[in-house]
Amino acid sequence: MINIEKKFFKFEPPSMKPNLKVFWKKAKGFNIWNEKNQKCIDFTSSIFVSNIGHSNPTFKKKIKEVLNSPLSHSYVYYNKFRFEYIKKLIRFVGRKKLNKCYLMSSGTEATEAALKLMRLNGQKINKEKKGIISMNGSWHGRTLGALMMSGFKSQTNWIGYKDKNIYHIEFPYPWLLKNNSETFFRKSLEKTFGKRFNYKKKIAGIMLEAFQGWGSLFYPEKYIKCLIKFAKKNNILITMDEMQSGFARTGKKFAFEHYNFVPDIICCGKGMGSGMPLSGVITSSKIMDIQGGYLQSTHSANPLSCAAGIAVIDEIKNKKLVNKSKNLGNFFLKGLKKLQTDFPNIIGYAFGKGLVSALIMKKYKNLSSTSVADFVCHECYKNNILLVNTGRESIKFGPPLVINKNALKFSLKAIRKSLEKLQNKYENKKR
Ligand SMILES: Cc1ncc(COP(=O)(O)O)c(C=O)c1O
């Protein structure tokens, strides 16, 4: 592996090094094989991309339809795959309010487009209505606007300036919230804006990650209720970034369904294209048809990506992946919570919905919480389980939705084994 890493690093930046050094030789269903043909259960889904399973036959067949046709790209000129997809996509979303889509290639473009739409629509009401509220600790992508909305200061310092119309408020972490959503929300606004801010005049939109990615942290329903009330009162648009959560990942088609409301805009990507670069914003005609949006890009809605999108929706429906994700997710989360009960000195929290979940580790003996997470990920990999090593105190679980109960049981055992090994290592040291 050292040699492989060296070979790649010769041509690529350090950020392209994975936390766990794994070479993917083959991926099929919910398994991956490394360069030594070690077969692993994949809990990454290639970072929430392969919801319908790796090397999915329906996906391959549909893409081949494009490859075998006499058309591979048509810029913004119309083509049949694009129409088939946009019609199917809007039907799949199934909400009156979300009746138009704009397709792109990467997630960060989608959140940028949402930022633009929220601002343009705000400024149409009054020129000063261009503020965007997002959350500390959330993630929306790596291009400038997306990065400025993301709540990680360390990643934005290089920009050298701050968009003074992008504001961050505190995320309702369970360890901060203490059950009072309304007070928490009001106080977090006051902390950022003071007591006399004119939200109606100055705020155009709120950008919400559907759940906070690194820890699979969902918002309490009450908190979202307060936020919706606030947005309505002040004529503010709500965007939900469904990049990780969309397309059946959380046991619903989209995570906004957990919160019993329909956002004004949703941003999708990752699992939307199952490996083909495909992302999109979905909203109403009223919001999308605004003058000055210039929503167009060279690869927008290209036939190959649209074909992939078609296969994704067909597979979600035909394989009943929404229900599968919900039921298997419930089973798996129960298992994680049992681990939390059995290893209270190592695991702080277990969170999740559907087939996305996380363990948040504690500092253990002289190991930092991040080192504990690293240890578990490395041990599990030795036992043929590839987990999402987030590079911080959490471990994430997001297998392809075609996984089965036996594979989940096997994985829970492997995680338990790694925790026992950690415990034994430190207990033996003490003696
Ligand atoms: C919630 C969320 N939004 C946006 C993005 C950016 O997507 P992409 O990496 O495709 O640009 C990501 C990617 O990790 C994400 O998790």
Q: Let me know whether 214 and 245 are in one domain.
A: yes
pLDDT value at position 181?
A: 94
Distance 153 CA to ligand 1 centre (A): 17
pLDDT surpassing 60 at residue 431: no
Mean pLDDT of 97-101: 98
Looking at the DSSP assignment, which residues form a beta bridge with residue 205? 132, 237
Q: Is 249 in the pocket of ligand 1 (CB under 6 A)?
A: no
Which two tokens mark 255? 């995570």
Distance 207 CA to ligand 1 centre (A): 13
pLDDT beyond 70 at 429: no
To test the pocket of ligand 1, the residue of 16, 104, 140 to mutate (highest count of ligand atoms within 8 Å of its CB) is 140
Range name among 147-156, 199-208, 221-230 with the lowest pLDDT average: 147-156
Name the 3-class secondary structure at 326.
Answer: helix
CA of 140 to the centre of ligand 1 (A): 5
- For CA atoms 348, 350, 351, 357, give the dihedral sign: positive
Do 143 and 250 fall into the same domain? yes
> Looking at the DSSP assignment, which residues form a beta bridge with residue 148?
none
User: What pLDDT sits at residue 154?
Assistant: 87
CATH of the domain at 369: 3.90.1150.10
User: Which residue has the least CA distance to atom 4 on ligand 1?
Assistant: 140
Over residues 273-304, the pLDDT tens digits come to 999 999 999 999 999 999 999 999 999 999 99
Residue 137 Cα distances to 162, 212, 234, angstroms: 17, 7, 24
CATH, residue 262: 3.40.640.10
**Segment 9-23, tens digit of pLDDT:** 999 999 999 989 999
**Does residue 87 sit in the same domain as residue 172?**
yes
pLDDT given for residue 282 in this prediction: 98
Torsion sign (Cα): 130, 136, 139, 145: positive
What is the per-residue DSSP string for 330-366?
HHHHHHHHHHHHH-TTTEEEEEEETTEEEEEEPPBTT
Same domain, yes or no, for 34 and 93? Answer: no
146 with 88, same domain?
yes
Nearest CA to ligand 1 atom 7: 107
Please provide the average confidence, as pLDDT, over all residues in the chain. 96
Q: How far apart are CA 420 and CA 55, in angstroms?
A: 35
Confidence of residue 430 (pLDDT cuts 50, 70, 90): low
139 lines ligand 1 (CB under 6 A): yes
Q: How large is the average pLDDT for residues 318-323?
A: 98
Decide: 46 in ligand 1 pocket, CB within 6 A.
Answer: no
Tell me which of 108, 150, 209 to substitute to probe ligand 1's pocket, judged by most ligand atoms within 8 Å of the beta carbon.
108
Closest Cα to residue 133, out of 179, 196, 175, 188?
Answer: 188
Rounded CA separation 348/361 (Å): 5
| Best mutation site among 109, 242, 244, 388 for ligand 1 pocket (most ligand atoms within 8 Å of CB) | 244
| 353-371: average pLDDT | 97
Q: Which of 327, 294, 117, 275 is nearest to 206 (CA)?
A: 117
Same domain, 138 and 25: no
Question: Residue 108: CB within 6 Å of ligand 1?
Answer: yes
Mutate to test the pocket of ligand 1, among 16, 105, 138, 139 (most ligand atoms within 8 A of CB): 139
Answer yes or no: do 229 and 329 share one domain: no
Q: Does residue 77 sit in the same domain as residue 123?
A: yes
Q: How confident is the model at residue 163 (pLDDT cuts 50, 70, 90)?
A: very high
- Are 37 and 150 members of one domain? no
Q: Is residue 84 very low, low, confident or very high in pLDDT (cuts 50, 70, 90)?
A: very high
* Mean pLDDT (whole number) for 22-36: 97
Tell how strand 279-283 and strand 265-268 pair up. Answer: antiparallel
DSSP string computed for 231-284? HHHTT-EEEEE-TTTTTTTTSSSSGGGGGTS--SEEEE-GGGTBTB--EEEEE-
Quickly state the pLDDT bin for 153 (edges 50, 70, 90): confident
CA-CA distance, 392 to 13, in Å (whole number)?
Answer: 20
Same domain, 133 and 235: yes
The rounded distance, in Å, linking the Cα atoms of 332 and 387 is 14
- Which tokens is 263 given? 């956002």
Ligand 1 atom closest to 138 (CA): 1
Nearest atom in ligand 1 to 209's CA: 1
Quote the ligand 1 centre to 310 CA distance (angstroms): 21
Cα–Cα distance, 94 to 114 (Å, whole number): 20
Coil vs helix vs strand at 32: strand
Q: How far apart are CA 376 and CA 421, in angstroms?
A: 9
Question: Per residue in 398-426, pLDDT tens?
Answer: 999 999 999 999 999 999 999 999 999 98
Q: What is the pLDDT of residue 178?
A: 79
Q: Which amino acid is at 120?
A: L
**Which residues, at least 6 apart from 402, have a Cβ–Cβ distance to it below 8 Å?**
29, 30, 52, 53, 319, 321, 324
Please work out whether the CB of residue 244 comes within 6 Å of at least one atom of ligand 1. yes
* C-alpha 114, offset from chain centre: 16
The HSE-up count of residue 152 (CA atoms within 13 Å, CB side) is 15
Among the candidates 318, 340, 368, a domain finishes at 318
Does the beta carbon of 107 sit less than 6 angstroms from any atom of ligand 1? yes
Q: Is 209 close to ligand 1, i.e. is its CB under 6 Å away?
A: yes
CA gap 77, 173 in Å, rounded: 46
* Boundary residue ending a domain (318, 337, 358): 318
Best residue among 270, 274, 394 to mutate for probing ligand 1, ranked by most atoms within 8 Å of CB? 270
Between the CA of 305 and the centroid of ligand 1 the distance, in Å, is 17
Say whether both 264 and 351 belong to one domain.
no
Among 318, 350, 379, which residue terminates a domain?
A: 318
pLDDT score of 126: 97
Question: Considering only CA atoms, which of 205, 189, 184 is closest in space to residue 133?
Answer: 205
Q: Please name the residue whose Cα sits nearest to atom 3 of ligand 1.
A: 140
Please, are residues 248 and 82 in contact by the beta-carbon 8 Å criterion? no
Residue 99 belongs to what domain range?
Answer: 58-318
Q: Are strands 166-169 and 388-389 parallel, antiparallel or unpaired?
A: unpaired
Q: Is the pLDDT of residue 5 over 80?
A: yes
Ligand 1 near 115 CB (within 6 A): no
Does residue 298 share a domain with residue 267? yes
Query: Look-up: residue for tokens 């996509």?
Result: 89
When divided into structural domains, the chain yields a total of 2
* CA separation for the pair 139, 108 (Å, rounded): 10
Give the residue ranges of DSSP H helices in 163-254: 174-177, 181-193, 199-202, 221-233
Distance of alpha carbon 123 from the chain centroid:
29
Q: Count Cβ atoms below 10 Å from residue 88 Cβ, excluding itself.
A: 17
